[in-house]
Structure 1
Amino acid sequence: GNKQVVLESLQPDTRYSVLVTAEYRSREGGSGSAQGKTASLRVSSVSVVRSDHSSICLSWRPVSAVDGYRIVIQSVKDKRTKQEVADESSSSFCFTDLEPETLYRISVQSLLGSAEGAAVSILHPTASAPVRTSVHPRMYPIHNEVCPEVTIRNSIVKGFDMMEAFGLTQRAHSSVEGVAAEPFVFNSLPTYTLYRDVQLTQSTKFIHPAGFSPEHTISIAFRLLQDTPKEPFALWQLTDNDFQPKMGVVIDPSTKHLLYFSLDYRGEVQELTFDQPQVHKLFYGSFHKVHLCVSQVSVSLSVDCQHVGERPARPLGNTPTDGFEMLGKLVKTRGPNSGSAPYQLQSFEIVCNTTWASEDTCCDLPG
């Protein structure tokens, strides 16, 4: 006969007494009992990994064999509540669009069928809202905001005009060494040629003094040249003050791949590779525009305003603001005097939403 049996549909985190009795055809035999306890569905190690004036990101130690997690955030002040459900593989989540200087109660509980683990709650405040500083109107606006308002091709959006940040404008480019403007006759946007080893580098404090929004879109319109080397280089990258790359967009002419990398909430650099056929055309010498839409769970790529693919990703972590941002840096080199690749750049912006790829156009690309 059976010597073991699985008892199902029990309550989690509950102690049970089990009685086993031997049965014969005409009588009952001896009995034996034992006690056991079902495993807890309670999550542990709930903690905030990053927060600012409008977002809070938290992580937890996952529970094995559950269906998912319910995450609830409630303002202690006005009891306004948001609720989300994450899948069973999740161990982190970010809430955005929160009120500044507000104390929130955040709870996480696991879900298994109709059962729910006990909710584990923590309290955490959002930071005060950043203040915009007034500057001379002809200077590039140094700001304290994560997402200041800028005008991109006649649209007012929250984000960064990275062409202006690096001096790649009709007004400023003549003072930038190693850069030439190439006006395009059928287009109102000039293109800028970055020469080999031009070392176009800017302080992160100057461009992103308050860091990055957890959700944003990187948009770059560029063209590779005949003398662009056949080795990987970063169209743009952000480093720490030791010139170690922490975030960026790399293209590799040898494999015809595009790579996005960023510092995640655990402080580790995650790399996502896009190798679809639509990526290959970036390497054939024409102008192309890429949009990388970075959300808290994935990064999606569009080429020439056509969606190409999506990769799962962990939430963005705290990027260093005491380092540098640079254009064209060769991947195999490090440091302030390392090599950079020549290429042409027509537009470059970082917009603080994940919808810019559908709002932007590609009709301004040179043919």
Structure 2
Amino acid sequence: MAHHITCLWIVLVLLLQNCVLAEDGEIRSSCRTAPTDLVFILDGSYSVGPENFEIVKKWLVNITKNFDIGPKFIQVGVVQYSDYPVLEIPLGSHNSGGNLMAAVESIHYLGGNTRTGKAIQFALDYLFAKSSRFLTKIAVVLTDGKSQDEVKDAAEAARDSKITLFAIGVGSETEDAELRAIANKPSSTYVFYVEDYIAISKIREVMKQKLCEESVCPTRIPVAARDEKGFDILLGLGVKKKVKKRIPLSPTKIKGYEVTSKVDLSEFTSNVFPEGLPPSYVFVSTQRFKVKKMWDLWRILTIDGRPQIAVTLNGVDKTLLFTTTSIINGSQVVTFADPQVKTLFDEGWHQIRLLVTEQDVTLYIDDQEIENKPLHPVLGIFISGQTQIGKYTGKEETVQFDVQKLRIYCDPEQNNRETACEIPGFCLNGPSDVGSTPAPCVCPPGKPGLQGPK
């Protein structure tokens, strides 16, 4: 009975999704629709076996059903290889998900040796090179053994052609150095390992997220020693040009922006999030304010001014609200009312962090987890409206506040790497019994102490 209810729920979700895909002819933008050439390069050697190859095909169907297939959206190609590569599905050969799934299910297992390098070069020459679309290009290499030819040159040639490569190693016979040579860097993002083919389902969701990150998050934000995929919203809304006064976040050397009511921090969403947002992301902002009313720190509006996504601060009851899309009725709002949320309204600098996933949203304040709220499945966003920061709720009037950071990171794992080091007071420079700076913040030295005894 429970199985039937689950199936009915999935069908209902898919039907509702199709019903609300367009508003006045506009398509909701998300990784479902982001124009991408996506090629799967599948190991079909003897070590895989026919039963495991069927598992791979089902995994491939489950991955691709998350995307809209067609000439304006995602096009999928498949290469199977052993001693030689075989073009199973050319890019652009199917204009619907149903036809693509049927084509995947009809692929026959090859058997033979493992020549991964030749397969990568084949995908470059006979799929990507023949595509006339100027867009995101991704190849996913799935193998369960060491290649019997060289992979490095073919992988480098693909990267030189702006193709992003993922490598998935199955079982203990794969070689770590070879997978790293195939995939883009960092390997922590582009290389995956599973113990066997049955376990490949464990990485289905994370693989879907990573493919989405590549297609909707083209920009990089310098963070510590690595560049994170994401959106610097302050940069996207032209804060450096629009806001003249900078203010230091003492005792750090970091500076913020003093936003006044005369500044309009708005931009067309199509210029800020041209392909929408990934299914999971991290919203981070550092700000201080004296506002006692309800205002939107950040919001994405439809063309007629309705909020699709928003982070709202309610100065009346000292709560934080998160608005996002919903497959149920178009929109959903969750309220964070934990007593610790009130600290945001003490007129000091604070960092707000929201970890948004397909199931829930978690609020962090100054690096401390505060509260978790469930979410209904979400939809993509309409990008014909505006993205704004610092506006009174339901109005175009700008709020007076100070802001240092306002970003979206596309990798949800950035939630575990992000710190609140920019917050004044986060660096403690007193005696050792007062406390220490939480790692990994690097804080400036304090004033010299008294001269010790000779």
Q: With structure 1 as the length reference, what TM-score do the two structures score?
A: 0.62
Q: In structure 2, do the counterparts of structure 1 residues 83 and 200 end up closer, same or farther at CA, with 3 Å as the change threshold?
A: same
Letter in 1 for 2:284: S
Mapped contact 2:30–2:278 kept (Cα < 8 A):
no
CA contact (8 A) 2:31 2:278 kept: no
After the TM superposition, which of the residue ranges 279-288 and 189-198 deviates more from structure 2? 189-198
Give the number of the structure whose residues are more often helix, by fraction: 2
Q: After TM superposition, give the deviation of residue 353 of structure 1 in Å.
A: 2.4
Instruction: Check if 1:150 corresponds to 2:128.
Output: no
1:131 to 116, 128, 136: 136
2: CA distance between counterparts of 1:232 and 1:54?
32
Instruction: After TM superposition, list the pairs within 5 Å mapping 1:178-327 onto structure 2.
Output: 179-225=244-290, 228=291, 230-266=292-328, 268-327=330-389
1:79 aligns with 2:57: yes
Tell me, yes or no, if structure 1 residue 47 matches structure 2 residue 14.
yes
Deviation of 1:340 after TM superposition, in Å, equals: 1.9
Q: 1:125 to 1:217 in 2, by over 3 A?
A: farther
Using the TM superposition, give the Cα deviation of residue 150 of structure 1 relative to its aligned residue in structure 2, in angstroms: 1.1
Gaps of 5+ in 1: 1-10, 13-38, 57-73, 85-93, 105-121, 135-143
1:52 positional shift: 8.2
Equivalents in 1 of 2:310, 2:266: separation in Å? 14
* 3-state SS of 1:286 partner: coil
CA shift in 2, pair 1:273/1:83, >3 Å: farther
After superposition, where does 1:96-111 map in structure 2 within 5 Å?
A: 101-102=75-76
Give 5+ residue unaligned stretches, structure 2: 22-27, 34-51, 68-73, 79-96, 102-132, 138-161, 163-213, 426-454
CA contact (8 A) 2:310 2:322 kept: yes
Structure-2 residue corresponding to 1:21: none
Q: Is the 8 A contact 1:75 1:102 kept in 2?
A: no
Deviations 1:127-184 (Å, cap 9, x if unpaired)? x99439x9xxxxxxxxx9411241243331111111211223xxxx2x31x5521134
Does structure 2 conserve the Cα–Cα contact (< 8 Å) formed by 1:53 and 1:129?
Answer: no
Distance of 1:325 and 1:244 partners within structure 2: 11
Closer, same or farther in 2 for the Cα pair 1:319/1:362, shift >3 Å?
same
8 Å contact from structure 1 (residues 77, 103) kept in 2? no
Q: Distance in 2 between the 1:266 and 1:102 partners?
A: 29
Q: Deviations over 1:24-79 (max 9, x none)?
A: xxxxxxxxxxxxxxx999635573637989669xxxxxxxxxxxxxxxxx999951
Match of 2:205 in 1: none
Q: Which secondary structure does the structure 1 equivalent of 2:221 belong to?
A: strand
Higher strand share: 1
Q: Which has the larger radius of gyration?
A: 1
Normalised by the length of structure 2, the TM-score is 0.51
Residue-pair matches, total: 264
Structure-2 change in CA distance of 1:129 and 1:260 (3 Å) = farther
Which one of the candidate residues 231, 237, 259 is aligned to 1:166? 237
1:276-335: CA deviations, max 9, x gaps?
Answer: 1111100001111111111111011111111111100012211111110111111142xx
CA–CA distance in structure 2, aligned partners of residues 76 and 264 of structure 1? 35
1:354, distance to aligned residue in structure 2 (A): 2.2
Flag the 1:55–1:321 CA change in 2: closer, same or farther, 3 A: closer
- Does the Cα contact within 8 Å between 1:195 and 1:343 map onto a contact in 2? yes
Aligned amino acid, residue 278 of structure 1: Q
Paired position in structure 2 for 1:27: none
2:47 counterpart residue number: none
- Residue of structure 2 equivalent to 1:22: none
Query: What secondary structure does 1:79 align onto?
Result: helix
Q: Please point out which of 354, 361, 364 is paired with 2:422.
A: 364
Percent pairwise identity: 21
Separation of aligned partners in 2, 1:278 and 1:259: 14
1:330/1:52 CA distance change after superposition, 3 Å = closer
Q: Is the 8 A contact 2:29 2:381 kept in 1?
A: no
